[in-house]
Amino acid sequence: MTPARYQPPCLDMSVPPHLPRLLQGSDVLVFRPQCSVYCKALLHWSKADDVTVLTLRIVGAALSWWEDGKEKLSETFGLHPSCTVFQLELYALHRATRLVSSSTDNKVNILSDSRSSLDLLRNPKLSHPLARSIKENIARVVCEGREIKMFWLRAHIGTAGNERADELAKTAALQSTSHDYDKVPLSYVRKKIREESVRKWQDRYATSSTGAVTRKFLPDVNQAYRITRSAKLTPAHVQMLTGHGGMGEYLYRFKLKESPKCECDPNIIESVWHIILDCPRFLAARQDLETLIDWNLVESELKDILADTKHRPHFLSYSDRVFRVAARRNSTIAPTRNQYQYFKPQSQPSQHHHKQLLKKQQHISCWIVEKKEKLD
């Protein structure tokens, strides 16, 4: 068994798989007049409509081959909108190394402003298909006795070749109609699955026969998730958002209170909306809140107040205070659980229990007989 059987057929055994020696950290100013390839990747977002917030994600990349201070050739290529920025940068390096592999120049420098892509190539365990392709292209150049070096170049420092590659990448992103690379990344698949699951969740949430109170506060599931994750909700907040708690309306529904009316008016039901918006018991606190947030407390505005990160803490503080007062008042007048308890008739002993009692009685009778015999 020889190591060659495990070697990819496109690589020579004399080529080391580890490439750190090919990756340089030098500045472009130390280059001698020789061939240089500038790689550039660009992610562009364009607004499709001035009225809506719909945007179109366009990706493009380019490379510019320079020799003796002049551009020799250039290439532009577009990628599928599902591609990530990392794929875009790796594909630009792939096209650059493929161009060098097909050329006859003995010494070529490849310059890229993608530090993450160059760092990935230092890793001997490459799993990304584009990274493996770059490695194979470099291996072919090295096998032919030619020299190829890769440099990281800081973006937007005024280098002519880099600025030209940046201009070409913008052109490719805006004008490209075909996709030179359209491999869908796993992150894109996960994103689409999540979007579809959230869409179904939203449809089910909006059409459900339950949760009407919650939908008034949190009509959108994405927004609801962000708010409940970031805000520190108390039990009083949960009672307000769900409508399940120490309100007269809820307690009366489950026969825990004789009347659903509020103590402020015998003709008004003590609901979530009455406690927050109308109850005169909390008029002073309500006016203080409206002055503080400069917002009128009406039912249709509650969802916007909760969505506002600046005003949300003040509203939650107010609602926590008023719902604590309402729940405490209802807990003192609501009947206790002991009032509804009753005694169950004592059940007949089971057959097993009856046998145990007979054995104990027999044992006691025998003990009494023995005692009498001893006394006699």
**DSSP secondary structure of 191-250:** HHHHHHHHHHHHHHHHH-SS-HHHHHH---HHHHHHHHHHS---HHHHHHHHS-SS-HHH
Please state, in angstroms and rounded to a whole number, the distance separating the CA atoms of residues 280 and 247: 15
What residues in the chain have per-residue pLDDT under 50?
1-21, 24-33, 43-57, 336-346
**Helix, coil or strand: residue 258:** coil
Per-residue pLDDT reduced to its tens digit, 273-319: 999 999 999 999 999 999 999 999 999 999 999 999 999 999 999 99
What CATH number was assigned to the domain covering residues 3-183?
3.30.420.10
State residue 109's pLDDT score.
86
For the question of whether the overall pTM of this predicted structure is more than 0.75, the answer is: no
Nearest partner of 257 among 191, 313, 336, 321, judged by Cα: 336
Per-residue pLDDT reduced to its tens digit, 59-111: 677 788 888 778 888 888 777 778 888 888 888 888 889 988 888 888 888 88
Cα 106 to Cα 22, 25, 99, 167: the distances in Å are 14, 21, 13, 28
For residue 31 the two structure tokens come to 């280059």
Please state, in angstroms and rounded to a whole number, the distance separating the CA atoms of residues 154 and 321: 56
Helices (H) and strands (E) in the chain, counts: 14, 8
Query: What is the biggest distance separating any 2 CA atoms in the chain, rounded to whole angstroms?
Result: 134
CB distance 139 to 99 below 8 Å: no
Please state, in angstroms and rounded to a whole number, the distance separating the CA atoms of residues 79 and 69: 29
Domain ranges of the chain: 3-183, 210-337
State residue 71's pLDDT score.
80
